[in-house]
Structure 1
Amino acid sequence: MRIATYDPGLTRKGPGLLLRDIRKDDPQVIAAAQVIAAARPDVILLTGFDWDLRSIALSEFRALVAQQGHDLPFWHASRPNRGLPTGLDLDGDGRLAEADDAQGWGQFTGQNGMAILSRLPISAVSDYSDALWRDLPDHIMPPTLPEVASIQRLPSTNHWDVTLTTTRGPMHLLAWSATPPVFDGPEDRNGRRNHDETAFWLHHVPDAPFALIGKMNLDPADGDGRPEVLTRLNALVQDPEPRGDWQPPQNGVNAGHRGDPALDTAVFDAAGPGNMRVDYVLPGHELKIIDSGVLWPSPDHPLAGAVEIASNHRLVWVDVVPYPSNEAMAPQARSRSSAVTQ
């Protein structure tokens, strides 16, 4: 079973604009579909995908992926916290109804949301997106006004437990897309929220095979986040450390990074943090890891142009089978993974 996560950059500055671009065959949209089809996931979490009430954009994008040769007929999407109005002045600037005043930063409801596309049926979804930050055990929420604490949700986008139906029983994907741990002040509000969005899963692990999956926006070695939460996850999950086939020259700010560049999953402005590892698939211990990778081909690879055009993020994939492993599945999984890099 191939599990993948990917921020395809399919978010726009206004409602309906993504659907417009899908329908006019925008090159960036087509490139994102090509990347997903090339990876051939059994299930993929899309972060950075605009939500609409009837999921029309998602339906039409799924059709584009199918046109590229990979059908993912099952899907889930629900309203994200991004752009969801609170009616309060969360950033204290004296103005209401701004992007900073939403439950998660967003210029409109649904901007930069999430979606699941799957080859396997989805049997259940537990949606924790309305969980209050103050209710998380041992949270590190900064001091805030009571009226803010009473409504401030923890997930900046969504937190989902998505149950897939497999031939070996239920498989859970614990999916989320955290706020970047930057763009705040000395109170480190975003850094604290980023930490707690990941820490949430320490208290919500199912008694079944699972994988943590999503855009954690947290590099274990570089950047401004609080990587200690990753240490707390170590008892629950395995890190396959997916690696790309190619990395850009490690100059400029990247030259000062401590982390292994082969693990990076996103290209950020050289004037900012540089390239980092921010997208993860972390299987639980009930799953045997067969293979893994970051879809980052060399510049002369036929897929390189689509990867570059689609997004500044790279698709991350991990092949797993549940224990006890069926050895008959392992060669098939290996042959499917090799198709990505050949």
Structure 2
Amino acid sequence: MGIPSGKPFHARHRGRPDRADDRGQAPRGGRRRSAAGLIAALCLLTRPAVAESLRLATWDAGLSRRGPGLLLSDIDKGDAQVRAAVALIAGVRPDVLLLTGFDWDHDGMALAAFAAALKAAGLGYPHRYAPRPNAGMQSGLDLDGNGRTGEPRDAQGYGRFTGQGGMALLSRLPLRAEAARDFSAFLWADLPGSLIDGAGLAPKVRAAQRLPSTGHWDVPVVLPSGRDLHLLAFAATPPLFDGPEDRNGRRNRDETAFWLRYLDGALPEPPPPAPFAILGDADLDPARGEGRRDALAALLSDPRLHDPQPAGDRGTATAVYGAPLRLDYILPSADLRVTGAAVVWPDGPDEAARRALVWVDISLP
């Protein structure tokens, strides 16, 4: 397991309050001491602000199961994989964490239980955001064209049950959930420049198929200064498991292209104000494996964004599926200063160890 460098925002020294006596009154000292205090205060006002660091992280921790309620059961009984995930997150101590591949349930019980386990490990996340994902949301149509409905591939995003492999955002800082934009219902056909026309979809399917396979969110985080940091979170479908029409490859490409169109102001919703950060699972490597890379290449080279290229024991790779692949990303807006970044791998040979946690520190003046 990698060792994260630096300290997240909440772990840093916040400065001591001015000295006072036990009654909360200023100490005595007459005009001379008052004048000295005024001069000191004026000096403080002319100093540059001390920067704090906010740690963002994203991880597909493999917290998905084959049936509803099974993840909650595993969390409650202290499953070994759950304990390992808690330990890794507690070691990295992100201020804001996007979990992908995390099963959603209607009442948020699994997420609440996982947050409680993190709190018991010394890391509290009082603010959470996890609306219903497209994963496992049945469409009522034969989306895969095999003549049957109600199967995992007939959901708006692949899933054996509603919410399988969803997303969850956990934060130490307040989230303005009432101002969040959930683009999960955005139709694939409505994306400017999409590749849907070559996907071989029947007209009814084309008219109903959503673009996000899990979700696309814009969630404002309230910074200590009072400003908002917009988190643009997503988890894309893998560009695999389809036929010669390359339906999943096309959709994967367009799930990334969505953010380019959003930043361009080409969607019905206006683009997010700076500062912002794109984070999540693009499920595509910039150079290796299958997939259509043009949208990802454009995103990584976009002058409106930083690509810190976090690295760990396997370079910039964040997953191992036969070969090491970079699939998970955190891309802060160009106005933010990146002060640290890394990829942290979990211990163990099991399925969960195939994916690594990615963190990036950004400076907050």
Which TM-score band (shorter chain)? 0.7 to 0.9
Residue in structure 1 matched with residue 260 of structure 2 by the alignment: 202
Contact 2:136 2:162 in 1 (8 A): yes
Contact 2:274 2:333 in 1 (8 A): no
Amino acid at match of 1:320: I
Over 3 Å counting, the alpha-carbon distance change for 1:309 and 1:84 in structure 2 is closer
Instruction: Give me the CA root mean square deviation.
Output: 1.4
Amino acid at match of 1:203: R
Residue in structure 1 matched with residue 182 of structure 2 by the alignment: 127
Residue in structure 2 matched with residue 37 of structure 1 by the alignment: 90
Residue in structure 2 matched with residue 304 of structure 1 by the alignment: 347
State the distance in 1 between where 2:296 and 2:333 align: 14
The counterpart of 1:11, out of the listed 58, 64, 79, is 64
Pairing 1:318–2:330 present: no
Amino acid at match of 2:158: W
How far the C-alpha of 1:145 sits from its partner, in A, is 1.6
State the distance in 2 between where 1:277 and 1:150 align: 33
Q: How does 1:63-142 map to 2 (within 5 A)?
A: 63-123=116-176, 124-141=179-196, 142=199
Pairing 1:243–2:311 present: yes
Counterpart secondary structure, 1:193: helix
Amino acid at match of 2:223: T
How far the C-alpha of 1:86 sits from its partner, in A, is 0.8
State the distance in 1 between where 2:186 and 2:237 align: 15
Residue in structure 1 matched with residue 111 of structure 2 by the alignment: 58
State the distance in 2 between where 1:146 and 1:309 align: 38
State the distance in 2 between where 1:81 and 1:311 align: 25
Q: How does 1:260-279 map to 2 (within 5 A)?
A: 262-268=315-321, 270=322, 274-279=323-328
State the distance in 1 between where 2:157 and 2:353 align: 22
How far the C-alpha of 1:304 sits from its partner, in A, is 3.4
The counterpart of 1:165, out of the listed 215, 218, 222, is 222
State the distance in 1 between where 2:153 and 2:192 align: 25
State the distance in 2 between where 1:81 and 1:96 align: 16
Counterpart secondary structure, 2:186: coil
State the distance in 2 between where 1:151 and 1:308 align: 37
Residue correspondences, number? 297
State the distance in 2 between where 1:126 and 1:89 align: 29
Contact 1:31 1:309 in 2 (8 A): no
How far the C-alpha of 1:230 sits from its partner, in A, is 2.0
Amino acid at match of 1:44: L
Residue in structure 1 matched with residue 334 of structure 2 by the alignment: 285
Amino acid at match of 2:296: L
Residue in structure 1 matched with residue 13 of structure 2 by the alignment: none
Q: Which structure 1 residue ranges, 5 or more long, are not aligned?
A: 248-261, 297-302, 327-342
Give the 4+ runs in structure 1 shifted more than 6 A.
none
Contact 1:49 1:114 in 2 (8 A): yes
**What TM-score does the superposition give when structure 2 sets the normalisation length?**
0.79
Contact 2:103 2:167 in 1 (8 A): yes
Q: Which structure 2 residue ranges, 5 or more long, are not aligned?
A: 1-53, 264-271
Counterpart secondary structure, 1:80: coil
How far the C-alpha of 1:310 sits from its partner, in A, is 4.3
Contact 2:62 2:351 in 1 (8 A): no
Contact 2:129 2:170 in 1 (8 A): yes
Contact 1:29 1:310 in 2 (8 A): no
Counterpart secondary structure, 1:19: helix
Residue in structure 2 matched with residue 174 of structure 1 by the alignment: 232
Q: CA-to-partner distance for each residue in 1:32-87, whole Å, 9 max, x for gaps?
A: 11111111001010000000001000001011111112111110001111111111
How far the C-alpha of 1:309 sits from its partner, in A, is 7.3
State the distance in 2 between where 1:200 and 1:8 align: 25
Contact 1:31 1:310 in 2 (8 A): no
Residue in structure 1 matched with residue 74 of structure 2 by the alignment: 21
How far the C-alpha of 1:267 sits from its partner, in A, is 1.8
Bigger Rg, structure 1 or 2: 2
Counterpart secondary structure, 1:197: helix
How far the C-alpha of 1:237 sits from its partner, in A, is 1.2
